[in-house]
Amino acid sequence: MNYPQPEFRPVSYSRVTLTELMIPSYANFGGKIHGGILLSLMDKVAYAAASKHAGNYCVTVSVDGVNFLQPVEVGELVSLLASVNYVGRTSLLVGIKVIAEDVRSGSVKHTNTSYFTMVAKDESGQPTQVPGLNLETLEDTRRFLEAIKRREFKERYRAEFDNAVSSLAVPHQLHLLERERCQIVY
């Protein structure tokens, strides 16, 4: 059954925070938390924010800006703060800020900020329109505008990259390998 949705929803309606304790089974052999654990939590919180705004199930379409700049340790409390930054017709861009807190010292580190593009689906699995976004603060407006720029740059980059790759003539590009740590052995 498809439930009726409002024309617009405010950013605050779907803002969510997910907090999870980093337990030993999340750690890799070096004692740090697996990147995949954090990615899974990010996907979960992106889904929560997107589906709340959409009032429908959502799927993850693409992920941008995932850089793990600082390791997360066992015992730390990780919080993922998510909000819908931008909506298209059926897609939503969810911004996620990840912070990790050492509960003993109280110190907090910002581990990364990433952007998940989600698409709302109806009961038959087709992309479906999402409510527009009511921008309640200057920061909401800045994020919406930033998302437009992000989308423009991504499309331009994708077109340029596809063009560069499709015209890649290997024999003429071998000089690029001279300073790389590889050798041709065929």
Interface contacts to ligand COA, rule CB under 6 A: 59-62, 88-91, 117, 119, 127
Q: Which is nearer to ligand COA, 48 or 119 (CB)?
A: 119
In the complex, the smallest distance separating the C-beta of residue 175 from ligand COA, rounded to whole angstroms, is 33
Q: Backbone phi, then psi, for 82, in 5-degree steps? A: -125, 140
Give the rounded distance of the alpha carbon of 17 from its chain centre.
14
In the complex, the smallest distance separating the C-beta of residue 22 from ligand COA, rounded to whole angstroms, is 24
Q: Backbone phi, then psi, for 172, in 5-degree steps? A: -90, -5
Residue 117 and residue 126 in contact, taking contact as beta carbons nearer than 8 Å? no
Structure tokens at 151: 């989308």
User: What does the radius of gyration of the chain's CA atoms come to, in whole angstroms?
Assistant: 20
Q: Which is nearer to ligand COA, 78 or 119 (CB)?
A: 119
Secondary structure (3-state) at 71: coil
In the complex, the smallest distance separating the C-beta of residue 154 from ligand COA, rounded to whole angstroms, is 8
In the complex, the smallest distance separating the C-beta of residue 6 from ligand COA, rounded to whole angstroms, is 18
Secondary structure (3-state) at 154: helix
- Residue for token digits 């740090």? 32
Q: Which is nearer to ligand COA, 55 or 127 (CB)?
A: 127
In the complex, the smallest distance separating the C-beta of residue 107 from ligand COA, rounded to whole angstroms, is 35
Q: Which is nearer to ligand COA, 37 or 130 (CB)?
A: 130
- Residue for token digits 């990010």? 42
Q: Which is nearer to ligand COA, 112 or 117 (CB)?
A: 117
Neighbour-count burial of 86, counting CB atoms closer than 10 A to its CB (0-12 exposed, 13-18 middle, 19+ buried): buried
User: Closest residue to ligand COA, Cβ-based?
Assistant: 88
